Amino acid sequence: MGILVKSPGPLTTVQDEGRFFHQSSGIRPSGVMDDAAYEAANALVGNGNGEAALEMTFLGATLEFQSAAWIAATGADMRAKLDDAPVERYRAVRVVAGQALAFGMAMNGCRGYLAVHGGIDVPPVMGSRSTDIGASLGGFQGRALKAGDVLPTMKEDGWTPTGLNYEPPVYESAMAVRVIPGPQEEYFTAKGLETFFSAAYEISPNSDRMGLRLEGPEIESRSGTDIVSDGIVFGAVQVPSGGKPIVLMADHQTTGGYAKIGTVISFDLPKLAQARPGDTVRFVRISAEDAQELYKK
């Protein structure tokens, strides 16, 4: 039972929710960049959120199924085709043994997800099947997929779709994301804070799963942004000495020595996960209390 990788695309990895509870030992969480697309893909094929799926970046993979499966493609529109027939995103689709599923270039967004009923059956490492390429940890042999790899999948169990329905998202090239100020906002001048919450920043090509580097006005600090290293979370916005913000993403380091001007709320992280170089982002202030109310709703 498995999926043969005919062509992997530039960066296709096995990911799940992430490798948590080990940051105190220097192990970063990794996991999917766009948890909304990942969760939708798993739900469509009857999986729990912990099941491993494929994350593809900019250009998707071409895969040959060695056994029948239910699949769902979500996230970026990569114009998937199953034996040359278009595959609708955000729908459960039946695949039979011998069929080829080919993803193309991302037409909207930049990261596509593929879930298979039962999940990708790679061994968990420290409680997660996510790939940390930098540490050669987890996923499929701790690396991005290559042509010729065979991904093991779970045996068919008779599951059929429940009729769950999602509307495919449209990813905007100019976006606004909500940010809770701090935890080191006092390191920045009033002018610096005003710049951060009013300027439009452009996603740099020098961005990756670790962080989105932003180009735009420098953020003024009071006397530098070096701090005693402390913990980092997904969505933390660091400001290095050059004054250009960096939004830390799924492969973020466990600690950092630059002041954090704010933290992007979890609901807006999928927007950033799908941002392409050249897209623009504006930061909107929100209180922790208002963010918690959104979470409750």
List CB contacts of 4: < 8 A, sequence separation 6 or more: 63, 64, 65, 66, 148, 149, 150
Report which of 245, 274, 72, 292 is spatially closest to residue 172, judged by C-alpha positions: 274
Percent of the chain with pLDDT over 70: 100
Please state, in angstroms and as integers, the Cα–Cα distance from residue 92 to each residue in 14, 40, 89, 160, 274, following that order: 20, 10, 8, 9, 22
- Residue 175 CB neighbours (<10 A): 16
Q: Could you tell me the pLDDT band of residue 109, with boundaries at 50, 70 and 90?
A: very high
Instruction: Give 76-103 pLDDT, tens digit per residue.
Output: 999 999 999 999 999 999 999 999 999 9
User: Do 37 and 178 touch, CB atoms closer than 8 A?
Assistant: no
Look at residues 55, 88, 60 and name the one whose alpha carbon lies nearest to residue 72: 88
What residues are paired with 283 via a beta bridge? 177
Question: Rounded to two decimals, what is the model's pTM?
Answer: 0.96
Tell me the pLDDT tens digit for each residue of 181-199.
999 999 999 999 999 999 9
157 has pLDDT over 90? no
Rounded Cα–Cα distance for residues 61 and 57 (Å): 9
Round the average pLDDT of the chain to a whole number and report it. 96
Given this structure, which CATH class describes domain 174-296? mainly beta
Give percent of the chain with pLDDT exceeding 90: 95
CB 56 within 8 A of CB 92: no
Phi and psi angles of residue 260, each rounded to the nearest 5 degrees, phi first = -105, 115
In the chain, domain spans: 2-152, 174-296
Q: What is the pLDDT of residues 158-179, one digit of tens each?
A: 899 998 989 999 999 999 999 9
State pLDDT tens for residues 7-20.
Answer: 999 999 999 999 99
Instruction: Say what the alpha-carbon torsion angle 29, 32, 36, 40 is, to the nearest 10 degrees.
Output: -120
Of the listed ranges 45-49, 62-66, 90-94, 113-117, the least confidently predicted one is: 45-49
- Greatest Cα pair distance, the chain, in angstroms, is 63
pLDDT category, 49, cuts 50, 70, 90? confident
pLDDT at position 48 is 87
